[in-house]
Amino acid sequence: MKNLYFFTKKEFFECWRTSRFLILVIIFLIFGLMNPLLAKLTPEIVKMTIGDAMASTIPKPTSIDSWTQFFKNLTQIGMIVLALMFSGTVNNEINKGTLINLVTKGLRRWVIIVGKMISLVFQWSICFLLTFLVTWGYTAYYFPDNKSTQLFQAFFPLWIFGLLLLSLVLLSSTIMRNSYEGLLLTGGIIVILVLINLFDKLKYYNPISLVTQNLNFLQGTVDIQKYLPAILISILFFALATLLSIQIFNKKKL
Contact 202, 230 (CB under 8 A): no
Mean pLDDT of 165-184: 94
pLDDT on residue 46? 66
pLDDT reading at 43 higher than 80: no
Contact 125, 15 (CB under 8 A): no
pLDDT band at 176 (very low <50, low <70, confident <90, very high): very high
Mean pLDDT of 150-173: 95
The lowest-confidence range among 1-15, 43-57, 204-218 is 43-57
d(CA 216, CA 68) in angstroms, rounded, equals 10
pTM: 0.92
Among residues 1, 64, 78, the alpha carbon closest in space to that of 32 is found at 78
CA 13, 17, 23 angle in degrees (round to 5)?
Answer: 110
CA 140, 144, 146 angle in degrees (round to 5)?
Answer: 105
Among residues 118, 162, 128, 116, the alpha carbon closest in space to that of 27 is found at 128
d(CA 45, CA 156) in angstroms, rounded, equals 32
Element (H, E) at 9: helix 2-17
User: In 50-115, where do the E strands start and end?
Assistant: none
pLDDT reading at 54 higher than 70: no
